[in-house]
């Protein structure tokens, strides 16, 4: 069958343009195989990264039909089934573009310096003191090693970083790839800097609280690392040792859980007062809520009463069960 590949092409700091290539393909052909054919048979100037062709190196990350993925993993059949677009002549189309959140060098090649720099910020290595063990190596049980497997599967392809909405609006955020690696260090029993690490990750913009929980990193990760889940686990470790009054981001999480436990869902009247107003202790925070409160009152959108949901006790039991076993 014929497929038209619409490739977004550009040079650094230039306006991108779409160039179309028509290929005769089979459903099992990977996108990378097709890009190779375009480069070898039609246009030798097309630039993209590649290496292993086996979903190991992570080099061929790019946006395929609007979603960051590995070109060596996605095949024609899957893409046409997931995203069906055709020309006026009925020929299916597949769009290919460079990854996001990183500047383009040429065509599908992006500058990944920010990706590597943010990874370095979380110190993704076992602490030095933990490596200074005399006479014998540091042994781990199979169970201790197994805890690290999911994060260890990360091949640093950049797909999660490319789709991260938090990074898009907040350049201080280190990104899901870095925090997934950070969680690996937090739970590694060989590391001796867990407390220091958790304090470093407990920041409103750069650390775990900068995550907007959009789920995009989990959705595009080709290795099922589930970066957002790992970020959530770091948050839980931080919450264990911090009081709600210490920061707004910690208070937001604790108040949300406490209110749901009390009423089955969130009492919106209390949520802002407790989180922004710090349980009525932050006068400046309380005053900042006044304009919003007045607008809500005038538009009839301020809840004057609160009715607990049905099954509140069951909701409370579920939350407490998770907290006790987590």
Nearest to 254 by CA among 234, 269, 233, 240: 240
Q: Quote the pLDDT of residue 12.
A: 80
Residue 214 predicted with pLDDT over 90: yes
pLDDT category of residue 185 using cuts at 50, 70 and 90: very high
Instruction: List C-alpha distances in Å: 90 to 36, 38, 50.
Output: 24, 21, 31
Q: Quote the pLDDT of residue 247.
A: 79
> Higher confidence at residue 49 or residue 325?
49
Mean pLDDT, all residues of the chain: 91
Greatest mean pLDDT among 53-57, 247-251, 318-322 lies in 53-57
> Under a CB-based contact definition with an 8 Å cutoff, are residues 99 and 62 in contact?
yes
Q: What share of the chain has pLDDT > 90, as a percent? A: 67
pLDDT category of residue 197 using cuts at 50, 70 and 90: very high
| Average pLDDT, integer, range 286-301 | 90
Greatest mean pLDDT among 125-129, 182-186, 281-285, 290-294 lies in 182-186
Q: What is the pLDDT of residues 50-103, one digit of tens each?
A: 999 999 999 999 999 999 999 999 999 999 998 877 766 789 999 999 999 999
Q: Quote the pLDDT of residue 29.
A: 97
Q: Quote the pLDDT of residue 244.
A: 67
Residue 4 predicted with pLDDT over 90: yes
State the Cα–Cα distance between residues 269 and 303, nearest whole angstrom: 7
Terminal alpha carbon distance of the chain: 51
- The separation between CA 303 and the C-alpha centre of its own chain, rounded to angstroms, equals 34
**219 burial type by CB count under 10 A (0-12 exposed, 13-18 middle, 19+ buried):** middle
Q: Quote the pLDDT of residue 108.
A: 98
Token pair of 91 as six digits: 């020929």
Q: Per-domain residue ranges for the chain? A: 2-109, 112-240, 248-325
CATH code linked to domain 2-109: 3.10.20.30
Residues 6+ apart with CB under 8 A from 107: 7, 8, 9, 10, 46, 47, 48, 98
Strand order in the sheet with 93-97: 17-24, 2-9, 93-97, 61-64, 67-70
State the Cα–Cα distance between residues 76 and 223, nearest whole angstrom: 20
Q: Please state which architecture CATH assigns to domain 112-240.
A: Orthogonal Bundle (1.10)
| Average pLDDT, integer, range 148-156 | 96
Which residue intervals of 70-112 are DSSP H helices? 76-82
Give me the torsion for CA of 35, 36, 40, 45, rounded to 10°.
60
Residues 6+ apart with CB under 8 A from 303: 268, 269
Q: What is the pLDDT of residues 89-143, one digit of tens each?
A: 789 999 999 999 999 999 999 999 999 999 999 999 988 675 566 666 777 899 9
63 forms beta bridges with 68, 97
Predicted TM-score (pTM) of this structure = 0.83
State the Cα–Cα distance between residues 183 and 201, nearest whole angstrom: 10
| Average pLDDT, integer, range 37-49 | 97
């Amino acid at each position: 069958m014929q497929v038209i590949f619409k490739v977004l092409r550009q040079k650094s700091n230039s306006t991108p343009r779409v160039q179309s290539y028509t290929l005769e393909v089979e459903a099992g052909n990977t996108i990378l195989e097709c890009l190779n054919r375009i480069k070898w048979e039609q246009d030798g100037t097309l630039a993209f990264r590649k290496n292993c062709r086996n979903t190991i190196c992570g080099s061929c990350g790019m946006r395929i039909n609007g979603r960051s993925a590995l070109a060596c993993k996605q095949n024609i059949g899957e893409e046409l089934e997931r995203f069906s677009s055709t020309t006026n002549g009925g020929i299916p189309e597949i769009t290919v573009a460079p990854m996001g959140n990183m500047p383009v060098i040429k065509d599908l090649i992006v500058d990944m310096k920010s990706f590597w720099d943010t990874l370095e910020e979380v110190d993704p290595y076992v602490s030095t003191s933990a490596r200074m063990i005399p006479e014998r190596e540091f042994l781990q049980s199979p169970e201790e090693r197994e805890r690290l497997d999911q994060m260890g599967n990360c091949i640093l392809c950049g797909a999660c970083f490319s789709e991260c909405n938090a990074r898009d609006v907040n350049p201080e955020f280190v990104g899901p790839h870095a925090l997934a690696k950070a969680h690996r260090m937090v739970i590694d029993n060989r590391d001796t800097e867990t407390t220091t690490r958790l304090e470093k990750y407990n920041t409103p913009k750069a650390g775990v609280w900068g995550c907007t929980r959009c789920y995009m990193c989990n959705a595009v990760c080709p290795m099922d690392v589930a970066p957002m889940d790992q970020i959530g686990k770091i948050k839980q470790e931080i919450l264990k040792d911090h009081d709600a009054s210490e920061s707004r981001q910690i208070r937001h999480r604790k108040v949300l859980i406490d209110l749901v436990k009390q009423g089955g869902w969130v009492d919106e009247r209390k949520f802002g007062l407790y989180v922004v107003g710090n349980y009525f202790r932050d006068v400046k925070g309380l005053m900042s809520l006044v304009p919003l409160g007045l607008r809500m009152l005038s538009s009839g959108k301020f809840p004057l009463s609160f009715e607990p949901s049905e099954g509140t006790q069951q909701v409370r039991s579920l939350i407490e069960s998770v907290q006790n076993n987590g």
